[in-house]
């Protein structure tokens, strides 16, 4: 089981580098459904935002929280998605 998990970790990391963002997201969602407590998806979202995230223009005065949200958009989107998937898993038949 752990071999498959490490295999999916490598696939997600390669998909972040090579594939478009939506393909990496689909693979990450599948891995989150496939493995219990797949916390690596949050780390991969942070890696994705660190590589391809855009910096916040300091034209407007914003709170520091909004600057973080705008800089790490993918990470902020993946965290609630991860929580939602973990809450839904027990009610699914195929899991």
For each of the chain's 95 residues, which pLDDT tens digit applies? Answer: 678 889 989 999 999 999 998 899 899 889 998 898 899 999 999 999 888 876 555 555 666 666 666 778 888 889 999 999 899 988 887 75
pLDDT at 56: 53
Query: In 10 A of CB 71, how many CB atoms?
Result: 15
| Token pair recorded at residue 78 | 């993946």
| Token pair recorded at residue 60 | 């407007």
pLDDT at 51: 87
pLDDT at 61: 63
Which helix (H) or strand (E) covers residue 76, if one does? helix 73-88
Please enumerate, as own/partner, the contacts of 68-73 that have beta carbons within 8 Å and a separation of 24 or more. Answer: 72/45, 72/46, 73/49
DSSP letter, residue 72: S
Phi and psi at 20, nearest 5°, equal -65, 165
pTM comes to 0.79
pLDDT at 12: 92
């Amino acid at each position: 089981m752990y071999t498959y998990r490490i295999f999916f970790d490598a696939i997600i990391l390669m998909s972040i580098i090579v594939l478009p963002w939506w393909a990496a997201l689909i693979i990450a969602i599948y891995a989150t459904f496939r493995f219990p407590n797949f916390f690596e998806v949050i780390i991969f979202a942070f890696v994705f935002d660190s590589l391809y995230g855009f910096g916040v223009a300091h034209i407007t005065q914003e709170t520091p929280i909004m600057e973080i949200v705008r800089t790490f958009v993918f990470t902020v989107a993946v965290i609630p998605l991860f929580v939602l998937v973990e809450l839904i898993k027990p009610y699914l038949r195929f899991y």
